Amino acid sequence: MRAKVLRSIKIFLIYCILVTFSIFVLIPIYWNIITSFKTPVELSKIPPTLIPQSPTIDYYYDLLTMRHFAELIRNSVIVSLGNASLSTLIGTLLGYSISKLVLSKQRKELLTILVAVFKSFPVLILIIPYYMFLSSLNLIDTWVGLIIPYLTFGVPFATWTMKGFFDEFPQSMEEAPLIDGCSRIGGFFRITLMILLPSIFVVFIFTFLYSWNEFLYALILTSTYNSQTVTIGVFATVSKWEIAWPKIAAAGVMSALPVLALFMVVRRYIIRGIVFGVVKG
């Protein structure tokens, strides 16, 4: 009886923590959405209104009719997909190599430490070297000029994450196709990758989100609408004369819609991938 009561209390506390955390996460999102529908007069009211009294869609209309906003969305999609695809591909191969092909325990630990170092490398240190390097190749203000530095942080993250998934992958399942006469490479592509496909989707989504939300490199390495991303477009709504908070909020909502749509499409695979990393075997 006592154990049952303690278990109920534990579950209750867990739910309280989860609800509290959800409230802290959802309040800024809700506030951003309602701000995008408020007029400047209503936005300046004290105390602030929790529901727009005179909702307007003028700021959304301004963004949709803005000449270059669609180009910014396009650039973000191309750069994010490019970085996510390459990072996931390279990270998957490197993660498998470190986890399964490196037999020496010392070398495996050394490579793991190197990946962790690159994964946690400060972003600011590499800006000037990258700018000089990309300038010499005439890649400033191009999609490729953004994808290359993004790979510096996407590949280590993908490698680190995929190595963890490969470490948890049962050795017996990897050896089963070898018994049937399949090569190691064939077993890797036909069995291992197919089973770990949800985990690969998790890595893809997180690297995609990193590229989509990145601001500093996009600000420094781009100068025109031909390659600037949507984060720069949101920043550009701030002028030296005013800060149009409703317009910034509307731009934030619109820039989040493609990512939300992508998440809704692959959410099932994301949950499977996360569960695979938690439940061993």
Over the chain (281 residues), the average pLDDT of each successive run of 10 is 75 88 88 85 80 82 77 90 93 88 78 80 84 90 92 90 83 72 76 82 88 90 87 76 78 81 72 55 43
- Which residues have CB under 8 Å from 227's CB, separation 6+? 75, 79, 141, 142, 143, 145, 146
- Which residues have CB under 8 Å from 272's CB, separation 6+? 198, 199
Query: For position 190, what pLDDT does the model report?
Result: 79
Query: For position 78, what pLDDT does the model report?
Result: 93
Query: What is the distance between the alpha carbons of residues 219 and 14, in angstroms, rounded to a whole number?
Result: 41
Does the pTM of the predicted model rise above 0.95? no
Q: What's the half-sphere exposure (Cβ side, CA atoms, 13 Å) at 53?
A: 8
Report which residue type is found at 49: T
Query: For position 146, what pLDDT does the model report?
Result: 92
Query: For position 89, what pLDDT does the model report?
Result: 93
